[in-house]
């Protein structure tokens, strides 16, 4: 056995001397190349086109005065979850697919005997988007999802709250192409709250119009 091992060692040494590589174990896979993240298209348009346009429209003194979208909150209220907790799991998965971010489950703050509701029971889910994901979601909402609504005539103009924030109701999740019809157990609506830094509703509406919100005429 010792002689056999010695002969094997000499053979490998000879191969190394001739420039041949000795046999090794399974080679390690090369690390995946790092792909730089591409800035959200809508965010780039806001920086390069919308800010200058709003500065001219409202005579802002500097770019810091120009309003921007701070965050988008998407909320699914699920009253049917009181009788079927599995509804929550399906809604969470759908909202995660739509938003690109895992939502949190919302729970009842107090008991309501008339609705067989106990404090702490799950009654919906919501997700808060900021930054790149927020702009990516808004881009898909405006360019893909809303145009898929049957007989769509624009979004309402009277859904501002007086503080520069805008609310929008979506009747069903199926307008988002990421949701597959064959995987949906029921239609679910959602409420969107677009929070901006605008001081007035007029400025907020101008911002959203420049972003592409199709307000009714």
- d(Cα 167, Cα 154) in Å, to the nearest integer? 14
DSSP assignment of 115-156, as one string? GTB-TT-EEEEEEEE-HHHHHHHHHHIIIIIGGGSTT---B-
Residue 13's pLDDT is what? 53
The answer to whether residue 102 is domain-embedded is yes
Q: Domain count of the chain?
A: 1
Characterize 35-71 residue by residue with b for buried, 16 or more Cβ atoms within 10 angstroms of its Cβ, and e for exposed. eeeeebebbebbeeebbeebeeebeeeeeeebbbbee
The answer to whether residue 119 is domain-embedded is yes
| Residue numbers in the chain where pLDDT is lower than 50 | 19-20, 22, 26-27, 29-30, 32-37
Residue 8's pLDDT is what? 58
Residue 115's pLDDT is what? 58
The answer to whether residue 74 is domain-embedded is yes
Domain of residue 133 covers: 69-211
The answer to whether residue 42 is domain-embedded is no
The answer to whether residue 107 is domain-embedded is yes
Q: Report DSSP state, residue 199.
A: S
What is the tens place of the pLDDT at every residue in 110-169? 666 555 656 766 678 999 999 999 999 999 999 999 999 988 999 999 999 999 999 999
The answer to whether residue 5 is domain-embedded is no
The answer to whether residue 25 is domain-embedded is no
The answer to whether residue 52 is domain-embedded is no
Query: Which CATH number belongs to the domain containing residue 142 in this structure?
Result: 3.30.1440.10
Cβ-based neighbour number of residue 125 at 10 Å: 25
């Amino acid at each position: 056995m010792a002689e056999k091992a010695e002969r094997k060692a000499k053979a490998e040494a000879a191969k190394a001397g001739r420039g041949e590589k000795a046999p090794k174990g399974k080679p390690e896979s090369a690390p995946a190349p790092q792909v730089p993240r591409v800035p959200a298209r809508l965010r780039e348009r806001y920086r390069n086109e919308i800010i200058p346009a709003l500065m001219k429209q409202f005579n802002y003194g500097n770019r810091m005065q120009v309003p921007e979208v701070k965050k988008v909150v998407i909320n699914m209220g699920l009253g049917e979850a009181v009788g079927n907790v599995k509804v929550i799991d399906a809604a969470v998965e759908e909202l995660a697919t739509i938003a690109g971010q895992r939502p949190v489950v919302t729970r009842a703050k107090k008991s309501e005997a008339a609705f067989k509701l106990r404090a702490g029971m799950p009654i919906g889910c919501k997700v808060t988007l900021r930054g790149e994901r927020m702009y990516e979601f808004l881009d898909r909402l405006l360019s893909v999802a809303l145009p898929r609504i049957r007989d769509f005539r624009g979004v309402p103009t009277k859904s501002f709250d007086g503080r520069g924030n805008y609310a929008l109701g979506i009747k069903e999740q199926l307008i988002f192409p990421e949701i597959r019809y064959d995987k949906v157990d029921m239609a679910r609506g959602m409420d969107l709250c677009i929070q901006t830094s605008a001081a007035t509703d007029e400025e907020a509406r101008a911002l959203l119009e420049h972003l592409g919100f199709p307000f009714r005429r």
